Structure 1
Amino acid sequence: MTDDALLTPQESARIREGIAGAVLGGPEGLTDSLEHDPAGYLRLVDASRVGAEEAGRLLREAVQGARAAGHSWDTVGRVLGVSRQAAQQRFATRGPEAAASDGPDRRVLTPLTAFTEMAALAEAGRAGWQLVGYGAFYHEVEASEHPWEHARVTLAAGARHRRMEAEGWIPVGAGWFPWRYYKRPLDPTGKTPADG
């Protein structure tokens, strides 16, 4: 383990095993086909490609999350084993200017961090603004005729996601690793539809 490594060798091994297990276990019958079917190896290549694309997406979003939590490009680069400049060139994204510009029906809440975004969404929601998009350091909200509440849940909480959706929470987008965002309308008295 290097001085800059934040994971133990055992933690790193568990992650590697988990990814290998997901790649081998995702496609139906892949593991068995590798014993007798040359086409199984092409399915393995395709499954590995999907795994690598997903791992790349998670890394990009994790880097943006670290930046949103206040970490410098220098610190992020050290964790990745590259220079500050290399990390910034590879992972810097377009900011909130990529979202719709402010107007009477849409606003961009920025600059936000992982520690301030939920308070900003709570304030906007009370004022009748609902979450419609997000990215590194910003959330895009749209005007509504009623107040909204917003929630953030880790992507790994599958049972909690199903429970929230059963309670009237609406997922917004596909998630921004490690979070999934939800919104739910409130009536003018502050009650949710589930409150009756």
Structure 2
Amino acid sequence: MGLCVGLTGGIGSGKTSVSRLFAELGAGVVDTDEISHELTAPDGAAMAAIRLAFGDQFVTADGALNRAAMRALIFADSTAKAQLEAILHPMIQARALMAIAQSSAPYTVLVVPLLLETGNYQGRAKRVLVVDCDERLQIARTMQRAALTEEQVRAIMASQLPRKVRLAGADDIIVNNGGLDDLCQQVQTLHQAYLALAKS
């Protein structure tokens, strides 16, 4: 098993952009959000358990997770959130670890939005990379991408680790306040460092 770097960051910080740049440089990328979407797509592997636990109103006509209904429920009900996580997290983790094990890349970037909150991958990720940006940028990017109100974005941010705590848990930090060139440069620098670490 080669070097595994855990990549995390608050909503709207730019985790997807950063992981895409690492992939372009030849790193393996395993994204737990993508795995979660596969599991909750029409007739995805988690959908039978979700239907059983929550009922038909949380499943769309084509057999996928009704994301809007589920988002509203888990924000209002912490028990429902824990119930959903109990279904999804073990399945996501099993698939992610399998993908890491099968990777032939020099090192693997494991993208986990709640890496530091859950501690599920602490034994696997040898370094923690946090993507950080100003809160106003976080809010603007998320509102633009996900068609959420500022209030909804702030509620999601409040449910995640405070920025200071997340940064304190980082081995490496990418600051995503600038443009793409700046981001590319930071990723390139870390890529060289990770290649050296992977060899050692």
Quickly name the TM-score band, shorter chain normalised: under 0.3
Normalised to the residue count of structure 2, the TM-score between the two structures is 0.24
Name which structure has the greater RCO, CA cutoff 8 Å, separation 6+: 2
Normalised to the residue count of structure 1, the TM-score between the two structures is 0.24
**Greater per-residue helix proportion:** 2
